[in-house]
A and B are shown apart, each in its own frame.
Chain A
């Protein structure tokens, strides 16, 4: 009963419900949205890369920071992936994955170090690195482009093929999601990320290692963006200097829609993952329902604002109720 009660009250439940409604409505309108092999595959495949970014973003936002550079990190690692296959013939696929993750982690380390040591708000720092990393990408790539023919078939297969109807990309994303969820829920370091975001001053008084933990959050976000970059190359087969542009905003949007409080301290990666699914599924469902292109973007905006307003309203209502109770007693 208790588990059921918690499920009903959880912030994530509403988002999950919204996602299910979108799927049901779109399927009623056009059954192939869900009940064709392509439809089912797209449903899972489309949000998988964004899911990775949203998980990383959620970890950073929980610490009362934000990482706007993830789109650019994805772009750089996607191009690095292609270059590795071209410049090092016969390079094993796991090594490419590792290279992407490590490189992304290093870019995240730069973000984290600037935020943690220079004491400049993450919004400013990562807005800076968003452009800086993209600039490096343009300088490095030029007008060059990685094509599907440059990469091995096995690698490209990862981006499109499935295991028991579940796309590999989705399987990887779910594994990462479960690991991140486990870390945030059961590890001291994970709980301390929440504590830091909830009240940084109190975290200092508690003697928590605030600087170190924030650094780790940015490295994780960077590493996940790196992994997403490798998978981007596998999924789309072509990579130019504009890969991943604007994805950072979708990642922030997914996290916020999924109930990760923008001021830190609360929310889960599960919510962010459902947010990513909702964001991209709604994009695919709206044309089917017959909504025009302009309105599709507006709907996403309404979702984001609605999620934030809902958070504030709920928080204020709770605070007011408790204050009134206290005054009466």
Chain B
């Protein structure tokens, strides 16, 4: 690789000095270690295209779309699209348990007391619920819910976890303001290798 680059540099140097004596061009090529800075591959993404693909929602709610939903509408959607996997009230399964708070909002998961990882016990940020339901649910038809429907399903799940009053209309501002019980429970990885077991 290095050898080839040296050769490439020499060739260009020869061409440059031979053809037009442009020493500056030659020097730049010689300084190139292995690759050009830019290859010019790919095409520019236009902003409309980016907006269409950019569906993620940040933990502070940035990226949430315009729209709103209600617990009542969420109940209708849940029965039709969610109940088969998550049970009549979100605790029965057979797949992930969605609903439940730990007494006093403790976080007993590491100390060995068994508790399901529910929205009310183990999700640090409410807007993530919108992100996940919109991108991944329902399992057999992901991406099929309109934004208002996602807001409604999220409203129901928050209500069942005692995090939202029943008659509130949920929109981006309200969702961003909800404090989740597990909000301050998450810490960054502090393992660094070496002899200490963490």
To the question of whether A and B form a pair in one complex, the answer is no
Residue ranges of B at the interface with A (Cβ–Cβ < 8 Å): none
Residue ranges of A at the interface with B (Cβ–Cβ < 8 Å): none
